A = this chain, B = another copy of it.
């Protein structure tokens, strides 16, 4: 019942993609287990070096013979004066104090370095023959798309509006992930302004489906068979699920992060630029509320992300959720701490049960 052009293209059994959460969540065992369970495991490689990427790909290939994918951040131009960086760093001093930490990271990469890293990441993906590559924060150049297509990679873009989805199709990518406002972690908008890109999946999916002919994947707040079936009814060909996999046993997320999600409620998930300079959804905590007064002086991604890195690291080492980025979608009440295999089985069983009810069987 789950076969369609999306599962055929990706050569998977169930139309379920594990969202490529960056920052250490997508361990090789998480990715491999998702693929072994019939979904598509994805490496969240946005923050990884080319060497780390190569190592993880090779590890995953030891653990599964099934297809898996990788996600890269498309670099954007960014500028910032020395003075702005100093000001932004000053605003972080109270947090350093709270954590009794004095490490400071002013080692901000230049736009050129970021673009170079991206090109090296692409090369590793090609060299290691990863079957699927998705992109967030924008679309790669037509040269890169042509190079990847030449090597037969299946390409996925991330869109938050109809216009962005149309652009992804126009550039020749194979699938589009439509990210609803429910989604946890970073927003993927690259044409729409932040405030105009928060469209709920109930609205986003049918409007995107009506305007592109490539398969649409629904992402944001989907946690179980109910969400999968709802997405299919709306016209999506599959779902991408993040938070549901983040709290799984195989995920590399910090245990404090997992616990925070397992105890969170839907009205505690807020959008903030405070951690990275880019809008992202996570559980409200002290860092977010302390940064409220400095919202207008937060430098762009990846500058703020670099500046706050020591704070997040120190907080993690101290098991202190108040200064960690606790990314989560808007459905934390459905999160469970279980194996990937159990989660996948539950989703499919529930989806089949709903199908039978709808079919009046």
Contact = CB atoms under 8 A, between A and B. Distances in A.
Interface of A: 1, 161-163, 180-182, 192, 195-204, 206-207, 210-211, 218, 220-224, 226-227, 229-235, 265-268, 270, 329-331, 333-334, 354-355, 358-361
Contacts of A163: 265, 267
Contacts of A230: 202, 229-231, 233-234
Most chain B CB atoms below 10 A, which of A218, A222, A333:
A333
Q: How many copies does the complex hold?
A: 2
A231 B162 CA distance: 22
Contacts of A181: 181, 198, 200
B333 A162 contact: yes
Contacts of A211: 333
A233 B229 contact: yes
A201 B206 CA distance: 14
A223 B207 CA distance: 10
Given A199-B182, A201-B201, A162 B227 contact: no
B210 A333 contact: yes
A330 B207 CA distance: 10
A162 B266 contact: yes
Contacts of A331: 202-203, 206-207
Contact of A234 (B199, B206, B226, B361): B226
B330 A270 contact: no
4 nearest A-B residue pairs (beta carbon): A359-B359, A200-B200, A203-B221, A203-B330
Nearest to A227: B202
Contact of A355 (B182, B218, B359): B359
Nearest to A334: B206
A63 B198 CA distance: 40
Nearest to A211: B333
Contacts of A180: 200, 202
Contacts of A224: 206
